[in-house]
Amino acid sequence: MAIRKKATKAKAKVSIKSKAASKKVVKLKSKKPAAKAKASNGMPKPSSKPFGKDGKALDGVRILDFTHVQSGPTCTQLLAWFGADVIKVERPGVGDITRGQLVDVKGADSLYFTMLNHNKRSITIDSKHPQGKRVLDELIKKCDVLVENFAPGALDRMGLTWEHIHKLNPRMVVASVKGFGPGPYEDCKVYENVAQCAGGSASTTGFRDGPPLVTGAQIGDSGTGLHLALGIVAALYQRNRTGRGQKVLAAMQDGVLNLARVKLRDQQRLKAGPLTEYSQYGEGIPFGDSVPRAGNDSGGGQPGWILKCKGWETDPNAYIYFITQAPVWGAICDLIGEPTWKTDEGYATPKARLPKLKAIFGRIEQWTMTKTKFEVMNLCNAVDIPVGPILSMKEIAEEPSLRKTGTVVEVDHPVRGKYLTVGNPIKMSDSISEVKRSPLLGEHTDEILSKVLGFEKNEVAKIKASGALSAPEKKEKAA
Ligand code: COA
């Protein structure tokens, strides 16, 4: 990988120098990196360093990050947490549009931007300027992966076609998020909720008698970013064998559909008869020819519903998700004070309960309304009944256990001060994620030009003077 090659070259240079100085015959060091010690089974020898002390999973991988808004940045942020060196290319003067969206602290990058761009470096380049193109070509040669989520065709219009990239660097993986895959909608621009609607999520979310609903979880943007990250890591793994990069595409419609997979399952089950686990069945309402909205029914075979808890009259989140899982039916009956339901023929089996689920949940709710959601959680979990308290974002932000695991992290930013973010949700024992603040616009431009690309000082000055790295007003002055 780029970093390792550079180190080898440097070693060779040192050897040549010392030869000239001493005029003695000095054996040149091999340009080939020393073969890693192998264990007897042919595998690399395990590290002798303690777990978590031997770098990160993607150390040595360099990413040319052309992403913006949410889907692409989610992907590259994950790769950065795994140790990749992520170089975010931004339009001079403006940067990623989210820097200035939903601003809460005047003059500071928005939380929208900071929470999606940790652990990255930022360089500003006008990708349509001849000198900007030159810098980009050099970056392509030095990076392992290019990630982008521009509108369809935008990368080609910059001159960065697959052929151009592959010619410069045949090992480069070129990864894209698009709204749709090849087909009638491939040229469309797409945002989160468009994808939720086109991927089958909205039509199956909400209540039967209401309109389709989008969800709060960003399954179109962040969900697709996650899919893309997996594609990139798999492509890098394959490259170890083939020596060749490849294109990776994650379409948002496909990503959402993948997450709504159980609903396509239900679509096909409809041919075999009504979906008995949907409360609609128990209420005697006929099914149409496509999967209906299921309200708060559980997506699995165990009936579930959201029930009120103590304080629901004033607290919009005093609710709990309650699952009447068959193996713990007896425990539920005891807990709510209906022990006869354990043996009563009308209640004892899941089949017998199906037509009266609404009434059963009504009875359970009478009990949950006498307790807080946390009391219900404790009482139920003590006897293995799965329940889910509806946690507000305030409660999540203040939850000590999430702080302890690094899932919720406090970060300091030079302009906005301290803020909370979500850390890496994927924990690895030998690759520990640290959350570092997002970069200011163009903060690392100089260091990338000199240290990554090896441009001399006068060359950097020349590129800067061309206006390829600065906002339009500065360009005018430079002209
Ligand atoms: N220098 C010069 N030009 C730059 C640049 C840079 N550093 N970075 C971007 N641009 C240009 C692009 O080349 C493009 O110009 P063109 O239209 O002349 O080719 C222009 O900026 C706009 O880029 P685009 O991606 O079209 O942004 P947009 O704001 O019009 O659309 C999206 C935004 C998100 C709708 C669109 O990018 C998209 O559909 N992306 C794929 C799906 C996706 O990821 N959606 C979810 C986003 S969270």
Nearest ligand 1 atom, CA 127: 1
Q: Find the 448 Cα to ligand 1 centroid distance in Å.
A: 23
DSSP string, 252-300: HHHHHHHHTHHHHHHHHHGGGS--TTSHHHHTTPPP-SSPPP-TT--SS
Of 96, 221, 254, 266, the active-site residue reads 221
Q: Which residues form the pocket of ligand 1, taking CB atoms under 6 Å from any ligand atom?
A: 69-72, 89, 91, 125-128, 149-151, 154, 157-158, 177-179, 189-191, 221
* Protein residue with least CA distance to atom 13, ligand 1: 154
For residue 364, the SS3 value is helix
For residue 124, the SS3 value is strand
Nearest ligand 1 atom, CA 125: 7
What pLDDT was estimated at residue 80? 98
- CA torsion through residues 415, 79, 193, 174, sign: positive
Q: What is the pTM of this model?
A: 0.90
* Cα–Cα distance, 112 to 98 (Å, whole number): 6
* Protein residue with least CA distance to atom 20, ligand 1: 154
Q: Find the 183 Cα to ligand 1 centroid distance in Å.
A: 20
Nearest ligand 1 atom, CA 90: 7
Count CB-CB contacts under 10 A for residue 44: 10
End-to-end CA distance of the chain: 39
Residue whose token pair is 């490259």:
239
Nearest ligand 1 atom, CA 154: 19
- Per-residue pLDDT tens over the stretch 252-294: 999 999 999 999 999 999 999 999 889 899 889 999 999 999 9
- Per-residue pLDDT tens over the stretch 121-155: 999 999 999 999 999 999 999 999 999 999 999 99
- Residues in the chain, pLDDT under 50: 1-26, 28, 30-31, 478-479
- With the most atoms of ligand 1 within 8 angstroms of its CB, the residue from 66, 150, 226 to mutate is 150
Asked if 161 and 168 count as a contact pair (C-beta separation under 8 A), the reply is: no
User: Known catalytic residue: 430?
Assistant: no
